Structure 1
Amino acid sequence: MPAVNSGLVLVTGASGFVGTYAVKALLDAGFSVRGTVRSAQKGEHLKELSPKASYVIVEDMSKTGAYDEAVVGVDAVVHVASPLDTTNEGDPNNVIGPAVAGVTGILHSLEKNNPKAKRIVDISSVAAVGRAGVAGPGKRTEADWNNEIVDLCDKLGAAAPGGAKYSASKTVAEKAFWSFLEEKKPAFDGVVLNPGLIFGPPTQFTAAGGAIVGSNASALPFMRPGVPTATLEQPTVDIVDVRDVAAAIVAGVTTPAAGGERFIIAAAPLFYNDFAVAAAQVLPEAGVNANADPAYRAGLVAKAMVFDGSKATRVLGLNYRDKDATLLETVQALSAKQKASV
């Protein structure tokens, strides 16, 4: 299978949380990187990282030919960009359509405009593998698909929860990715990474006004007192450190055996209590409701529905960071940001 060990890599969504870490990891691995951003303002920080970093503006990735110029001359593509609108109250296709168009659009652009490209790595999600927050015990692997969430969106239409629409968009878009490769048989091959809920120290706060956004923001409610124990015992999506996702991206580009494969990128089951335990360490004065007892926490994990990330360890050589260390660093960064904003 083709793999890339040097040259120019295109990273879409390069100014986002994952994209920024991916760009840095690829630069550290010796690649030149071209990032796509929606505006010049968002791209300037990429150029500051290295003389080997550049950017192109793609305002709307769902438009036909949006990536035609961006893919020219690259050796590989890392497709991170995706619509994220979990508050959408309209038709599920308002979320699913752009996600599919973004994935298939960059595939068409690459096939049409770059005969030398060897590989594309698509960043999907465990949302395409199975539903989150489901009671276990049990295990999900790369053989699983979240077809039930697509069926739910078909059934409920506009009434489907925003998170369900997002999950359906990831599922349908990834299936479109594999269908393209199977039907078109382009010169390049494909790899899909399915990360869990991504945490880690943010490199920037990208929302207007510097607000905390993305998966890191989900820790905020548990940095305060008064969260019921029953809530803390609820499972959420398995956790992964953003730096491990970036390492998996580099390995996805460079590992020959990764071609044609999908990989769950997830370190461990995650419960809301885990957020609270980290918050209690960083903010002992806050009176956060948390249970740090190892036996209690192990009991929660024993009942979890696990997204099995071991294939990435075997094939990509990925060694996951400890979830408590990741959450501690995340909460420390969020706390510092909140204090600086006061």
Structure 2
Amino acid sequence: MASQRRVLITGINGYIAAHTAATFLKAGYTVRGTVRARTPNVESLVRALDKYHDGNRLELVEVPDISANGAFDRVVEGVQAVAHLASPVSMAETDPEPMMRASVQGTTSLLASALAESKREPRQNTLKSVVFMSTVSAVFSVSKPAGHVFTEADWNDAAEEEVRRLGKNTPGYVIYQASKTAAERAFWKFGKETAAEFSMTALCPAPVLGPPLYLPDPISSLSMRVKDIYDILHGGPIPEFSPIRSTFIDVRDTAELVLRAVERDSQTPRARERYLLVGELPISPQGMADVLRASFPERQDKIREGHPGETYPDMTWRFDASRAGMLLGRDWAGFQQSVVDSAKVFLAAETA
């Protein structure tokens, strides 16, 4: 039963991870989460999660450096599933080496601890599932020909090549794409080389939108695409269109898919699955402004109009997320719902 199972969620105070913790708590699981330190934001998360459990099913553990050898040895003890959502992110860095190293070593360090734990526990209580949160950026690349349909079989080779070419002058967003791609490659390499008995799943979500479970302080540390909604709602400029901004997935769908993957893995020994997560598309930053102006007419004097209904250059690429849709088992949350629900959280906080 779910109530007898414990899941480890790394980086539990992150945007997606916080929703993932709530989803597991609602399903009856005991949740152990890692944080770098007990900060005021972590305390805000704890308060937000309190409504989803009876007071004794949430445990936080400090792991200051996820890339250190043995960093997860103790925190994996007694868990039956791991959701690895912790990931170094900095769009301001131009030297790729620190982030690439931390991302890859954080993943392999966790897997090594998970492997040891899976061999230690009694069979009926063993660790059976490790879910890795990758990104659509590990799948999508503009180098693909027009008309290409992206699936789980695709990899972004271009970002890693850009890192090698540009070295310490690499833009932050390229470093992020390359580091996540390298970490996912390391994830699959580990599974192949060790023949780990636990099942392994990688989820590759599009840019994630939807209401934060709690608001971080400062608000500038909001997850990047959600901050687009916040900024537009408060009169900020409408971001430029880009191919990656034409896709999205709701944070609640993403969290539920982590749960679905873990529950499937518990019944499917040694499974190896990769899922591309893309909901409604195409969407755009202009679409955010259109939705916000229509849904909150009292703020029309603040929200920039831009070019209502503007259509962007035809997206020649497509995305096949049907496998993830089948795992979810219902329709994806829509773009309008994600934008409106996000804005409601921001506005409620301002009037509290």
Normalised by the length of structure 1, the TM-score is 0.87
Shifted more, 253-262 versus 268-277: the winner is 253-262
Query: Closer, same or farther in 2 for the Cα pair 1:236/1:273, shift >3 Å?
Result: farther
Partner AA of 1:244 in structure 2: D
- Residue of structure 2 equivalent to 1:12: 10
- Residue of structure 2 equivalent to 1:149: 159
Question: Is the 1:9–1:33 contact (alpha carbons within 8 Å) kept by the matching residues of 2?
Answer: yes
- Residue of structure 2 equivalent to 1:33: 31
Question: Is the 2:103–2:179 contact (alpha carbons within 8 Å) kept by the matching residues of 1?
Answer: yes
1:236 counterpart SS class: helix
CA offsets per residue over residues 37-77 of structure 1, 9 Å max, x none? 12234555437342211121111101111100000010010
The question of 1:284 aligning with 2:282 is answered no
Q: Give the counterpart of 1:314 among 318, 326, 343.
A: 326
Residues in 1 aligned to 2:77 and 2:6: alpha-carbon distance in whole angstroms: 10
1:63 counterpart SS class: coil
Question: Is the 1:13–1:81 contact (alpha carbons within 8 Å) kept by the matching residues of 2?
Answer: yes
Question: Is the 2:233–2:303 contact (alpha carbons within 8 Å) kept by the matching residues of 1?
Answer: no
The question of 1:262 aligning with 2:274 is answered yes
Residues in 1 aligned to 2:243 and 2:347: alpha-carbon distance in whole angstroms: 23
Alignment of 1:129-144 (within 5 A): 129-131=139-141, 137-144=147-154
Partner AA of 2:27 in structure 1: A
Q: Give the counterpart of 1:213 among 219, 222, 232.
A: 222
Query: Closer, same or farther in 2 for the Cα pair 1:184/1:225, shift >3 Å?
Result: same
Q: Give the counterpart of 1:72 among 66, 72, 77.
A: 77
Query: Closer, same or farther in 2 for the Cα pair 1:78/1:123, shift >3 Å?
Result: same
The question of 1:61 aligning with 2:73 is answered no
Residues in 1 aligned to 2:341 and 2:92: alpha-carbon distance in whole angstroms: 28
Question: Is the 1:135–1:303 contact (alpha carbons within 8 Å) kept by the matching residues of 2?
Answer: no
- Residue of structure 1 equivalent to 2:262: 253
- CA RMSD, Structure 1 to Structure 2 (Å): 2.8
Query: Closer, same or farther in 2 for the Cα pair 1:86/1:234, shift >3 Å?
Result: closer
The question of 1:113 aligning with 2:141 is answered no
Question: Displacement of 1:327 after TM fit?
Answer: 1.3
Question: Is the 1:205–1:212 contact (alpha carbons within 8 Å) kept by the matching residues of 2?
Answer: no
Question: Displacement of 1:218 after TM fit?
Answer: 2.6
Residues in 2 aligned to 1:64 and 1:223: alpha-carbon distance in whole angstroms: 43
Residues in 1 aligned to 2:285 and 2:161: alpha-carbon distance in whole angstroms: 28
Question: Is the 1:193–1:265 contact (alpha carbons within 8 Å) kept by the matching residues of 2?
Answer: yes
Partner AA of 1:286 in structure 2: K
Q: Give the counterpart of 2:288 among 267, 275, 291.
A: 275
- Residue of structure 2 equivalent to 1:98: 102
Question: Displacement of 1:135 after TM fit?
Answer: 9.8
Question: Is the 1:134–1:235 contact (alpha carbons within 8 Å) kept by the matching residues of 2?
Answer: no
- Residue of structure 2 equivalent to 1:52: 57
Question: Displacement of 1:232 after TM fit?
Answer: 5.3
Query: Closer, same or farther in 2 for the Cα pair 1:153/1:320, shift >3 Å?
Result: same
Question: Is the 1:73–1:114 contact (alpha carbons within 8 Å) kept by the matching residues of 2?
Answer: no
Question: Is the 1:130–1:146 contact (alpha carbons within 8 Å) kept by the matching residues of 2?
Answer: yes
Question: Is the 1:22–1:249 contact (alpha carbons within 8 Å) kept by the matching residues of 2?
Answer: yes
Question: Displacement of 1:203 after TM fit?
Answer: 1.7
Partner AA of 2:77 in structure 1: V
CA offsets per residue over residues 125-146 of structure 1, 9 Å max, x none? 1111113799965421111000
The question of 1:128 aligning with 2:141 is answered no
Normalised by the length of structure 2, the TM-score is 0.84
CA offsets per residue over residues 9-50 of structure 1, 9 Å max, x none? 111111111111101101111211111112234555437342
Question: Is the 2:3–2:30 contact (alpha carbons within 8 Å) kept by the matching residues of 1?
Answer: no
1:40 counterpart SS class: coil
Question: Is the 1:142–1:262 contact (alpha carbons within 8 Å) kept by the matching residues of 2?
Answer: yes
Question: Is the 1:139–1:308 contact (alpha carbons within 8 Å) kept by the matching residues of 2?
Answer: yes
Question: Is the 1:133–1:235 contact (alpha carbons within 8 Å) kept by the matching residues of 2?
Answer: no
Query: Closer, same or farther in 2 for the Cα pair 1:52/1:304, shift >3 Å?
Result: farther
CA offsets per residue over residues 246-299 of structure 1, 9 Å max, x none? 110110101146930110111033322122112323222225224554xx65xx
Q: Give the counterpart of 1:241 among 243, 250, 258.
A: 250
Residues in 2 aligned to 1:251 and 1:245: alpha-carbon distance in whole angstroms: 10
Residues in 1 aligned to 2:240 and 2:66: alpha-carbon distance in whole angstroms: 38
2:87 counterpart SS class: coil
Count of aligned pairs: 330
